[in-house]
């Protein structure tokens, strides 16, 4: 990128933006250094000219720290995205509403699209499969460019899936499984390659952990991920700490991304400050890189045009807004996205389940007894205080955590509907509702533990070895 030339006619909004940021810095430096007045005047004049051009090109006023984007997406996403009382970013999710985050508002804020009935129907038509309950129930609720993926798929053009996990501890909870359960379904239904990034580097940078601990957690977490049933011939799981240094394709993409995103931009998107370590500042490029098929030459045979589809929780979207912004400038297709809601904490949908608060979570290692006790003791109830009142007025399923969990895990739509009706009318008591959840989760988690036991070290090793998959590119 050349910030010195004056010819701005052919610049993209992003290049103009970068030039403007640099020019702003220059004016400030000249002023603090008390440079000769004509020099300052000339620099200010250029700044004004650039601002005008920027406004013409984007229709918006230039604002430092707020880069332009491929839609209205980046206009309003500060580091901590607050809408009313909702806070949603990769590190924090909270709201004051017991019903949880207002996801419709989030769609508007992030500039994504709603997964409406029409899209769900189309996925059903194209895949020939009944849509997953996460789609039927709006748990995956937002997307970017999913129609484009389906258009391409219909004309026999393949795509690949990318998802990931930050391995911050050995303990994974049921909420962590949501993207993986859904990704497994997508892989089965569309029969496409899948790459899974374990960001042990990210966790080292953000947490008080050693590099080796993070790497060990990555391998441990890989076992839980494998236990979700991924096809070993179609899935590559990688630790950043291992893969970054060993794959020429991957690192080349990382530096391409690094060259095309400025500090100002990541400040605007993620809220980094001057005192954040440079590892954090450059990390978004590493989470972006797997969105491009050339990061995996062993799988895609060097092809750079295979589109990527990323299922993830909506809090990861800032990374991929950045990725989508960079993609055309480095000659790659933009990744498409499918966003999920958060998995609520036992205490209520004001926050998401968090592994660092054991009472807020049901872990994949919990015994049937622990599951039962946690739900009975901690699951926030939308029921009334006394049985008499509950029978008379009924409960509120929309704030009831046990009911919310059932919407995630109970497969049968009719049963779920019946539970909702009976709870609302007061026929079903809180204790009975909790029992339904306990009866659903206990076998589900035991089955997961059984499958995890069958995952051998050799299998983990194989999943995590860079190799071609069962696809011809
Ligand atoms: N940053 C994510 C986390 O902390 C991990 C991650 C990396 C990810 N790549 C991803 C999640 C792609 C979803 C999709 O959990």
Distance from the alpha carbon of residue 376 to the mean position of ligand 1, in angstroms: 32
pLDDT for res 122? 98
The domain made up of 13-58 has a fold known as Helix Hairpins (1.10.287)
Order of strands, sheet of 336-340, starting from the edge strand that comes earlier in the sequence: 113-114, 140-144, 336-340, 307-313, 159-165, 194-198, 235-239
Identify which of 90, 163, 180 to mutate to test ligand 1's pocket (most ligand atoms within 8 A of the CB): 163
Order of strands, sheet of 348-352, starting from the edge strand that comes earlier in the sequence: 81-83, 86-89, 92-94, 348-352, 344-345
| Region 3-15 average pLDDT | 57
Comparison of pLDDT for 65 and 456, the residue scoring more: 456
Q: Which amino acid residue places its CA nearest to atom 6 of ligand 1?
A: 164
List b or e across 387-397, with b for residues whose CB sees 16 or more CB atoms inside 10 angstroms.
eeebeeebbbb
pLDDT for res 78? 44
> pLDDT tens digits, residue range 414-465?
999 999 999 999 999 999 999 999 999 999 999 999 999 999 999 999 999 9
| Tokens 């999710």 sit on residue | 93
Q: Which amino acid residue places its CA nearest to atom 1 of ligand 1?
A: 166
Give the number of other CB atoms < 10 A from CB of residue 66. 20
Distance from the alpha carbon of residue 342 to the mean position of ligand 1, in angstroms: 14
Helix %, strand %, coil % of the chain (to 5): 55, 10, 35
| Region 35-55 average pLDDT | 77
Tell me if 174 sits within 8 A of 139, measured CB to CB: no
Identify which of 89, 161, 166, 320 to mutate to test ligand 1's pocket (most ligand atoms within 8 A of the CB): 166
| Region 309-318 average pLDDT | 97
Structure tokens at 50: 């650039």
Tell me if 18 sits within 8 A of 11, measured CB to CB: no
Comparison of pLDDT for 339 and 5, the residue scoring more: 339
Q: Please, what is the average pLDDT of the chain?
A: 91
160, β-bridge pairs? 308
Comparison of pLDDT for 338 and 6, the residue scoring more: 338
Distance from the alpha carbon of residue 268 to the mean position of ligand 1, in angstroms: 20
Q: Is 316 in the pocket of ligand 1 (CB under 6 A)?
A: yes
Contacting residues for 307 by C-beta, under 8 A, at least 6 apart: 148, 149, 152, 157, 159, 160, 333, 335, 336
Identify which of 198, 287, 343 to mutate to test ligand 1's pocket (most ligand atoms within 8 A of the CB): 287
348, β-bridge pairs? 345
Confidence (pTM)? 0.83
| Tokens 């958060």 sit on residue | 342
**Domain limits, the chain:** 13-58, 91-346
Q: Is 20 in the pocket of ligand 1 (CB under 6 A)?
A: no
Tell me if 177 sits within 8 A of 213, measured CB to CB: no
pLDDT for res 71? 38
Atom of ligand 1 at shortest range from CA of 311? 14
Structure tokens at 236: 């590559």
Least confident span in 68-82, 237-251, 349-363: 68-82
Atom of ligand 1 at shortest range from CA of 179? 13
Distance from the alpha carbon of residue 452 to the mean position of ligand 1, in angstroms: 21
> pLDDT tens digits, residue range 234-271?
999 999 999 999 998 999 999 999 999 999 999 999 99
Alpha carbons 337 and 119: distance in angstroms, whole number: 13
Q: Is 221 in the pocket of ligand 1 (CB under 6 A)?
A: no
pLDDT for res 4? 36
The domain made up of 91-346 has a fold known as Rossmann fold (3.40.50)
Distance from the alpha carbon of residue 322 to the mean position of ligand 1, in angstroms: 14
Given pLDDT bands bounded at 50, 70 and 90, which one contains residue 72? very low
Identify which of 142, 176, 186, 199 to mutate to test ligand 1's pocket (most ligand atoms within 8 A of the CB): 199
Helix axes 430-453, 401-409, angle to 10 degrees: 40
Q: Is 168 in the pocket of ligand 1 (CB under 6 A)?
A: no
Atom of ligand 1 at shortest range from CA of 290? 9
Alpha carbons 370 and 173: distance in angstroms, whole number: 13
> pLDDT tens digits, residue range 361-396?
999 999 999 999 999 999 999 999 999 999 999 999
Give the number of other CB atoms < 10 A from CB of residue 57. 16
CA dihedral 395, 400, 402, 408 (to 10 degrees): 120
Q: Which amino acid residue places its CA nearest to atom 8 of ligand 1?
A: 164
Interstrand relation of 113-114 and 140-144 (parallel, antiparallel or unpaired): antiparallel
C-alpha radius of gyration, the chain, whole number? 24
Evaluate whether 13-58 and 91-346 have a shared fold.
no
| Region 5-20 average pLDDT | 67
Interstrand relation of 113-114 and 348-352 (parallel, antiparallel or unpaired): unpaired
Distance from the alpha carbon of residue 184 to the mean position of ligand 1, in angstroms: 16
Q: Is 164 in the pocket of ligand 1 (CB under 6 A)?
A: yes
384-389: which pairs have CB atoms within 8 A and are 24 or more residues apart? 384/426, 387/429
- Provide φ and ψ at 408, rounded to 5°: -75, -40
List the one residue out of 322, 237, 311, 256 whose CA is nearest residue 284: 322
């Amino acid at each position: 990128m050349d910030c010195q030339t004056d010819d701005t006619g052919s610049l993209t909004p992003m290049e103009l933006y970068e030039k403007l940021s640099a020019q702003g810095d220059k004016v400030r430096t000249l002023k603090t250094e008390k440079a000769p007045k004509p020099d300052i005047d000339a620099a200010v004049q250029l700044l004004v000219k650039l601002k005008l051009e920027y406004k013409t090109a984007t229709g918006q006023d230039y604002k430092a720290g707020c880069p332009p984007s491929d839609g209205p997406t980046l206009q309003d996403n500060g580091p901590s995205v607050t809408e009313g009382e909702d806070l949603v970013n990769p590190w924090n999710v909270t709201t004051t509403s017991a019903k949880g985050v207002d996801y419709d508002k989030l769609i508007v804020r992030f500039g994504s699209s709603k997964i409406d009935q029409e899209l769900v129907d189309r996925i059903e038509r194209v895949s020939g499969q009944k849509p997953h309950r996460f789609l039927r129930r709006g748990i995956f609720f937002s997307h970017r460019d999913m129609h484009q993926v389906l258009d391409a798929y219909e004309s026999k053009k393949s795509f690949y899936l990318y998802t990931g996990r930050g391995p911050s501890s050995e303990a994974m909870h049921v909420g962590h499984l949501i993207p993986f359960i859904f990704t497994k379904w997508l892989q089965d239904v569309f029969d496409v390659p899948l790459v899974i990034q374990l960001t042990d580097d990210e966790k080292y940078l953000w947490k008080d952990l050693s590099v080796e601990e993070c790497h060990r957690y990555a391998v441990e977490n890989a076992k839980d991920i494998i236990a979700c049933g991924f096809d070993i011939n179609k899935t590559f799981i990688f630790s950043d700490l291992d893969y970054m240094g060993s794959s020429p394709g991957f690192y080349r993409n990382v530096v391409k991304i690094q060259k095309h995103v400025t500090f100002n931009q990541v400040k605007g998107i993620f809220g980094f400050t001057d005192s954040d370590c440079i590892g954090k500042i450059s990390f978004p490029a590493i989470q972006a890189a797997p969105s491009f098929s050339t990061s995996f030459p062993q799988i895609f045979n060097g092809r750079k045009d295979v589109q990527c589809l990323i299922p993830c929780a909506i809090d990861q979207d800032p990374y991929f807004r950045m990725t989508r912004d960079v993609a055309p400038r480095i000659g790659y297709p933009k990744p498409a996205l499918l966003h999920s809601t958060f998995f609520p904490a036992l205490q209520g949908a004001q926050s998401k389940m968090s592994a660092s608060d054991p009472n807020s979570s049901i872990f994949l290692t919990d015994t049937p007894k622990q599951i039962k006790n946690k739900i009975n003791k901690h699951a926030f109830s939308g029921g009334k205080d006394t049985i008499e009142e509950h029978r008379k007025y009924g409960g509120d399923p929309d704030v009831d955590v046990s009911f919310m969990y059932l919407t995630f895990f109970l497969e049968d739509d009719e049963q779920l509907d019946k539970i909702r009706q009976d709870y609302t009318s007061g026929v079903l008591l809180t204790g009975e509702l909790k029992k339904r959840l306990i009866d659903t989760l206990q076998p589900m988690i035991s089955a997961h533990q059984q499958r995890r036991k069958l995952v051998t070290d050799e299998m983990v090793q194989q999943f995590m070895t860079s190799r071609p998959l069962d696809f011809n590119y």
